[in-house]
Structure 1
Amino acid sequence: MEKMSISQIVDGIGLSKYTFKIYFLIGFALLFCGFDYMVVSYTMPQMTKEWSLSKVQTGSLASWSLIGLMIGGIIAGVISDRIGRKKTLAFFCLLFSLLTFPIYFVHSFEAFALLRILSGIGFGAVIPVAVTMLSESSPTKNRGYFTSSIMSFYVLGWVVAGIAAIYIVPAYGWRVCYLVGGMPIIYAFILLFVLPESSHWLLGKGREIDAIQEIIHMEITAKGQAGKYAPGSLVIPPPPSKVGVSAIFSVDYRKTTIALWIIYFMGSVVIYGINGWLPTLLVGKGYGLVKGYSFAVLQNVFGMIGGICTGYAADKIGRRINVIFGWVFTAAAILLLGIALNQWQVVICGMLVGLAMNWGLSGTQPLLAEGYPTEFRTTGVSWAQAFGRVGGFFGPIAAGYVQQLGVGFRGIFIFFAVPAVIAAFIALFFIAETRGKSIENIAGIKA
């Protein structure tokens, strides 16, 4: 009996309705996740005024959910690698929706912070599971595109949050934005009943019959018919000597883990810091609420474009060169925004910043998913992202502190350019190339 790996079967089918079914189901989960995360950036000025907050407290409004993101990332990997990708994604999608709408009723900084931490657990869990599922469901030659561009849905959620705030906040007040954020509760049940489970995960758990059934479903969805696969017909990769958290720090994966953690930390300082503060900075610079919010929304529209472009580039020029380019591009765009002198310069440079920083961070996603084998892939992805959230937490707060030192508009953007340069440096010297290698053969590649 000739045996085949799941990657060979997926590559033989190529791009299909099945690929895009998973892509869009996961994508909408990330869109809702992105809306609920970013809506705080568009309600910061109103909460600051209502609760008489300092600059540091204002910056922390965008940071509390990052604590939850860290917790969610830490636990999601272990849960997903144990009970499956689909169940984990659906549960945490339900969690962040349920914990967003009660913010409508809060009347204190402390209550807001608590709810944002708890809802952030859902954000932190959904993102790494989404990236992992796409990496395990995409053809090898297109894997970089799908694992990178899926984050464009997350950024689309930021765009929708900004557009919603422009219309909702002036007419109904900032609290109604959080009622809207709780509406996608029903989508968690759609995921549970419609989203397929990862056949790689099923096979890794010794459930070959279930994996074969999923492969048959995939072929029928893609081609209208399926081949015959008897038990024992799939290549089962040898189990790793370690799994879970201990595995990502084992001798074979330690260097990969540390490098990815640093890149994601620095990238999160940049992207969460700038996105958390930009609407408030622009309003403070005299552009007004609608205009300042519109500039920030436009930046995120170009962020979506950056997420799509980086996936295409990752498959063409390679993951490593793409990430280096992305973070160098980010540093340059940030510095240009800092020296912008008029409205049109702010608009153009803001678009470049959105394009560049999402190019860099989304381009890092394939490296996370391709650095570890199936048995602890989500653990590797989620822990790298969880550590990155530490940077995302301190970025907005540090930016608030830097502003209190009196560095001005230009100085704050110099501050944000530094971590982008560090991320590019780490990618240059410590990242291995994985383009064109199957999901079964990439883990543990040395730089």
Structure 2
Amino acid sequence: MKAHVEENFEILEKEKSQANKGGIKSISKVTILVTIICWFTIFVEGYDLVVYGVVLPVLMDPSGWGLTATQAGAMGSYALLGMFLGSSIGGILCDKIGRKTIIIASIALMSIMMVLTALAPTPELFAIYRFLAGLGIGGIVPSASALTTEYSPAKYRSFFFVIMYSGFAVGGVAAALSGVFFIENFGWRSLFWLGATPILFIPFFIKYLPESIKFLQANNQQVKAKRLIEKYRLPDEFVKEEQSEGTANESASIFSKRYLVSTILFSIVYIGAFLLIYGMNTWLPQIMKEAGYPMNSSLLFLLVFNLSAVVGGIIAGRVADRLQPKKVISFIYFLAAISILLLSIKFNTVVLYILIAIAGFGTTGTTFVLASYVMRQYNDQNRASALGIASAIGRFGAIAGPLLVGILMGMNAGYEINFYLFGVVAILASLVILFMPSFKSVNASK
């Protein structure tokens, strides 16, 4: 036993020595700072997504606006259409004018629209404000993802990325909890007032959030880049230029021969992923309500769905750092498909919560790893654009999810049919990701 302990101690000392030689004695403070700020911005997106599903049963109630299922599904899709445009434009702009600028502008726009949504007197104005809020939300993901990736040590890049992206599910948890505690006493509008509070943090972002050093270097702002390097005493690993074979134009294009297959496959998987996430987060409370569960219980199902995504997503991120990400993603999507299909059967409450937890982990939680996989598959010049475009195309799934479920529920097809739809989509996502080129093959020479 003593010999074994001494042997492990020697290994740890050797690894520490190698790390010190590489310039990383500990996790940089700026890595933690950037991760926390970007986590908060993704938290805001998660809250915005889930809050509509939380208030939907109230809006469909005759005492509210009395929306039909088809109207509710369409209204849920308007915000997602805005996210589609925001993600497309934001992903490109944050590679052009900076990650920090896009994050601040996105938070400001989203917060203002949350205020207007809380004041909306009619469903039509509510839908318009949700669409405009989606424009702001769409710009957050590519810029926050790029910043987190670029300020994380290579060895822990997936881990920090997944930690950051877990804010999405935590935001969903916050929205579900807000519904449980505030809707009955303060009404559904109070949840949108809460959603406007991120605007108060913008001065903090302006002062403390650093711009991407990679962006500054790529745009000939070497003086600013040098100041950041000196300010945070960053080691070489954070600031050295990423070397890639081929021409600069080829490396920068996500539609070049080198990256085309990856871009297409990621876009397809994102369509399925967002259909699952947005479809289930929008409709799960109402589906469970139609299955015979009371309102508070339905909101608790949504809470479990998102809470399990936080824990499961972080664990999956660590596993993906050690194994091939596409195999991890494929397995978890398949696991999600099985649990979702089983939700069509009425079990006792304990089994039901377990199945919903697995579904949340396998849908929302898997997306944490999927986004990290995208960031690893591309280089410094195009990873924000890649995630922005792939997630923007994926918004077609986000738009389709609430609409399809709304149509099915309007047809009185039975709540089970929605779980069949989600289960099939999860199986398809599980299969498509397996065809992704390996990291080495994508970056290999022509």
Q: Residue in 2 aligned with 1:253?
A: 259
| Structure 2 residue 324 is matched with structure 1 residue 314 | no
Structure 1 stretches of 4+ moved >6 Å: 8-11
Contact 1:148 1:364 in 2 (8 A): no
**Alpha-carbon shift at residue 122 of structure 1 (Å):** 1.0
Letter in 1 for 2:55: T
Which of residues 72, 79, 82 is equivalent to 1:65?
79
Which of residues 143, 154, 171 is equivalent to 1:157?
171
What CA distance in whole angstroms lies between the structure 2 residues aligned with 1:128 and 1:9? 32
Q: Residue in 2 aligned with 1:146?
A: 160
Larger mean Cα displacement after TM superposition, 258-267 or 296-305:
296-305
Q: Residue in 2 aligned with 1:223?
A: none
What CA distance in whole angstroms lies between the structure 1 residues aligned with 2:260 and 2:154? 25
Letter in 1 for 2:375: A
**Alpha-carbon shift at residue 343 of structure 1 (Å):** 2.1
Letter in 2 for 1:173: G
Q: Residue in 1 aligned with 2:297?
A: 291
Q: Residue in 2 aligned with 1:439?
A: none
Call closer, same or farther: CA 1:302–1:19 in 2, change over 3 Å.
same
Larger mean Cα displacement after TM superposition, 382-391 or 134-143:
134-143
What CA distance in whole angstroms lies between the structure 1 residues aligned with 2:25 and 2:259? 31
Deviations 1:302-336 (A, max 9, x none): 11112211211110112121111121111112112
Q: TM-score, normalised by structure 1?
A: 0.88
- 3-state SS in 1 of match to 2:233: helix
Deviations 1:367-401 (A, max 9, x none): 22123222222111101111111101111111122
Call closer, same or farther: CA 1:345–1:446 in 2, change over 3 Å.
farther
Letter in 1 for 2:180: I
Report 1:37-436 matches (<5 A): 37-49=49-61, 50-219=64-233, 235=241, 237=243, 240-241=248-249, 247-433=253-439
Q: Where in structure 2 are there 5+ consecutive unaligned residues?
A: 1-19
| Structure 2 residue 18 is matched with structure 1 residue 18 | no
Larger mean Cα displacement after TM superposition, 45-54 or 170-179:
45-54
Letter in 1 for 2:99: R
Contact 1:263 1:426 in 2 (8 A): yes
What CA distance in whole angstroms lies between the structure 2 residues aligned with 1:10 and 1:150? 25
Larger mean Cα displacement after TM superposition, 25-34 or 90-99:
25-34
What CA distance in whole angstroms lies between the structure 1 residues aligned with 2:273 and 2:399? 12
Letter in 2 for 1:36: D
Letter in 2 for 1:178: F
**Alpha-carbon shift at residue 415 of structure 1 (Å):** 0.7
- 3-state SS in 1 of match to 2:286: helix
What CA distance in whole angstroms lies between the structure 1 residues aligned with 2:444 and 2:402? 35
What CA distance in whole angstroms lies between the structure 2 residues aligned with 1:27 and 1:10? 27
What CA distance in whole angstroms lies between the structure 1 residues aligned with 2:76 and 2:126? 11
**Alpha-carbon shift at residue 243 of structure 1 (Å):** 7.9
Q: Where in structure 1 are there 5+ consecutive unaligned residues?
A: 1-7, 221-225, 435-441
Letter in 2 for 1:96: M
What CA distance in whole angstroms lies between the structure 2 residues aligned with 1:241 and 1:163? 47
- 3-state SS in 2 of match to 1:107: coil
- Among all aligned residue pairs of Structure 1 and Structure 2, give the percentage whose two residues are the same amino acid: 26
Number of aligned residues:
423
What CA distance in whole angstroms lies between the structure 2 residues aligned with 1:443 and 1:14? 31
**Alpha-carbon shift at residue 71 of structure 1 (Å):** 0.7
